[in-house]
Structure 1
C-alpha cells in the first residue's frame, strides 16, 4: 500500500504545506525555495540559516544549499554577519508585476494609434533589474523595418543602459536605487555609441530626468535610432517608458526628435492619464 501520510519531519516540509503540491507534477524543490523567500517579512527582514531551518522544519545543510542557490541567483543577499535578506531581484520582480498589471490593456490602443500616425515602431517597457522588459509593441509595417537586426517581442529583455526606454526608467529612480542599479551593470559595448562609462551614464541620466526625454543614437545597434518618454501613474511614479524607433534609412535622428518627439510625448501623457496621472498635481520635490 502506498504511503499517503508524510512523516512528522516531512509534514513540516514546505513542499507538504499545500496539499496539491504533494502531487508528482509539482516541483517540491521549487516549493521549498519559494518557502524560504516567504520567511522574510517586514517583521523579520534578516535571517540566519538556523532561523530559516527552524521555521520551515528543514535540516541546516539542506537549508544552506537552497539559500546559497538563491544568493547566486540574486534573490537573497548575505551581509557581513553572514545573515541573509531579500535581494534586489525579488524587489525588481515585485515592482515589475505591479507596474505591468493592466498596463498593456490601457496602453495598447495608444501604441497602435501612434504607429499609424507616424509609421514607426512603438514600444512600451518596464524596468527589471538592469534590463528593460518589453510589455507591448506595435511594429512598423514599412519595408525598411526589416533592416533592423533586433526584433523584440513582449517579454523580451534588453540592457537598460543602451536603450532610450532604459535611460528613462533609470533616470527617474530614486538616487540611491539608481546608484545600486548602475553599480550592478557591466556596460558592455553593443554598438558604436554605447555608453561604457558609469560616470558618463550618470551624467546622461541627469539630463534625461531634467528633460523627461531620452535618445538612443546607435547605442544598442548600428543604424538604429530611438526616442523615449516616461509613462507615469496616479502616484506620479514613472512606471513605464514609451518609445519610437527607426532604422537610419527611414529618418534622421534629428527628424525623429523634432518631428515625432512631440507626438511621442503626447501619447505617453495620454497613457499616463489613463493610469490616473494628473500633470497639474505634480510636485517636483527632492529625490530620496
Structure 2
C-alpha cells in the first residue's frame, strides 16, 4: 500500500526510511564521549565528513534545542537536555541494576536517602535515588543534575578525575549557583579539598549545596580500579553532627561502595 509504514523493526530495510539531516545530527552527537567531551566545529566537520557549513547549521540547531552548549573558548559539549535524556537509559544500566539492592540496604541501615551519580562535565547526573527521609533537595530524581563543586559525589569524582580534565572544569563548576552557606568560593580552596578527598578516600558535603543538608560520598570502581561513579547518603545536619558523619556514616558508605565495586569486578587492590 502506498504510504504504508512498517509495523515491526524487521520490516525496516537499511536506509529505506532514513532522515539524512537527523542522521547527520546523530553522527555529530556520537562524537561526544567521556574521553573527549568537548569538540570544536572544524574537528566535528573533519571527524564526521560533514561539510563545515552543514556542520555549523547542525551544531547551531543542537545548541538552540538544548542538546549542545557552546563554551567561551568556542568548543561545544553536551548540554543538560542530553544528560536528562540519558537518565532514562541509565535507570536500566548494569551499574544502576547492580547498585540498587546495596543502596537500598544502606538506606535501611542508616534510615536516610541514598544516591548513585556519575560526573557529567561540571555537574553530576543522578542514576539511582532512593528516598528514605525528607530532605531540602527532595525534588531531585533520576536524571537530575547538580553542580559538582557543591556536592559530595561531585567533589569525590572531581578528586579522582584525570588532572587535565579537572583543571578544565573547576572554574566552570564554581561558577554554577549554590544556595549553601558553606559553598567553596575559589578554585584554590577546591583543589586543596580535592587533594584531601583523594588522600582519605571519601568526600563530605557540609551545607555547601543547601542549608541544613550534609552528605558523605564514596567511590565506585570498575574492574581496573578506575573511579566511574559515586554513592552517597544525604542527611539533615540537625541530626547528623560532623563527628557522627565521620564515625558512623563514612564507614557504612565506604563499605557499600566497595561491595558495589566488587560486583563490577574490582578486587580491592590498590
Normalising by structure 1, we get a TM-score of 0.72
Alignment of 1:196 onto 2:189:
no
- Any idea what SS the aligned residue of 1:195 has? coil
Structure 2 match to 1:211: 200
Are the aligned partners of 1:192 and 1:222 in contact in 2 as well (CA < 8 Å)?
A: yes
Structure 2 match to 1:21: 18
Structure 1 match to 2:246: 257
The Cα shift of 1:111 comes to 0.5
Distance in 2 of aligned mates of 1:132 and 1:46: 23
Alignment of 1:224 onto 2:216:
no
Distance in 2 of aligned mates of 1:79 and 1:224: 35
The Cα shift of 1:47 comes to 7.3
Aligned 1:267-282 pairs, distance under 5 A: 267-280=256-269, 282=270
The Cα shift of 1:70 comes to 5.1
Distance in 2 of aligned mates of 1:182 and 1:109: 33
For residues 48 and 127 of structure 1, do their structure 2 counterparts lie closer, same or farther at Cα, with a shift above 3 Å needed?
Answer: closer
- Any idea what SS the aligned residue of 1:146 has? coil
Are the aligned partners of 2:152 and 2:204 in contact in 1 as well (CA < 8 Å)?
A: yes
- Any idea what SS the aligned residue of 2:78 has? helix
Distance in 2 of aligned mates of 1:262 and 1:88: 36
For residues 172 and 88 of structure 1, do their structure 2 counterparts lie closer, same or farther at Cα, with a shift above 3 Å needed?
Answer: farther
Distance in 1 of aligned mates of 2:105 and 2:251: 14
Are the aligned partners of 1:213 and 1:230 in contact in 2 as well (CA < 8 Å)?
A: yes
Q: Tell me the matched-pair count.
A: 247
Give a deviation string over 1:57-82, Cα, whole Å, max 9, x none.
x6x644432244457864788989xx
Distance in 1 of aligned mates of 2:149 and 2:24: 35
The root-mean-square deviation of aligned C-alpha atoms, in Å, is 3.8
Unaligned 5+ residue runs, structure 2?
A: 4-13, 34-38
Distance in 2 of aligned mates of 1:250 and 1:128: 31
The Cα shift of 1:241 comes to 0.6
Give a deviation string over 1:110-153, Cα, whole Å, max 9, x none.
0111111111111111111111111112211xxxx335243311
For residues 65 and 147 of structure 1, do their structure 2 counterparts lie closer, same or farther at Cα, with a shift above 3 Å needed?
Answer: closer
Alignment of 1:115 onto 2:107:
yes
For residues 129 and 49 of structure 1, do their structure 2 counterparts lie closer, same or farther at Cα, with a shift above 3 Å needed?
Answer: closer
Distance in 1 of aligned mates of 2:72 and 2:181: 38
Normalising by structure 2, we get a TM-score of 0.76
2:143 to 137, 155, 165: 155
Are the aligned partners of 2:41 and 2:56 in contact in 1 as well (CA < 8 Å)?
A: no
- Any idea what SS the aligned residue of 2:180 has? coil
For residues 76 and 224 of structure 1, do their structure 2 counterparts lie closer, same or farther at Cα, with a shift above 3 Å needed?
Answer: closer
For residues 78 and 264 of structure 1, do their structure 2 counterparts lie closer, same or farther at Cα, with a shift above 3 Å needed?
Answer: closer
Are the aligned partners of 1:189 and 1:196 in contact in 2 as well (CA < 8 Å)?
A: no
For residues 169 and 49 of structure 1, do their structure 2 counterparts lie closer, same or farther at Cα, with a shift above 3 Å needed?
Answer: closer
Structure 1 match to 2:7: none
Unaligned 5+ residue runs, structure 1?
A: 4-16, 23-27, 283-288
- Any idea what SS the aligned residue of 1:126 has? strand
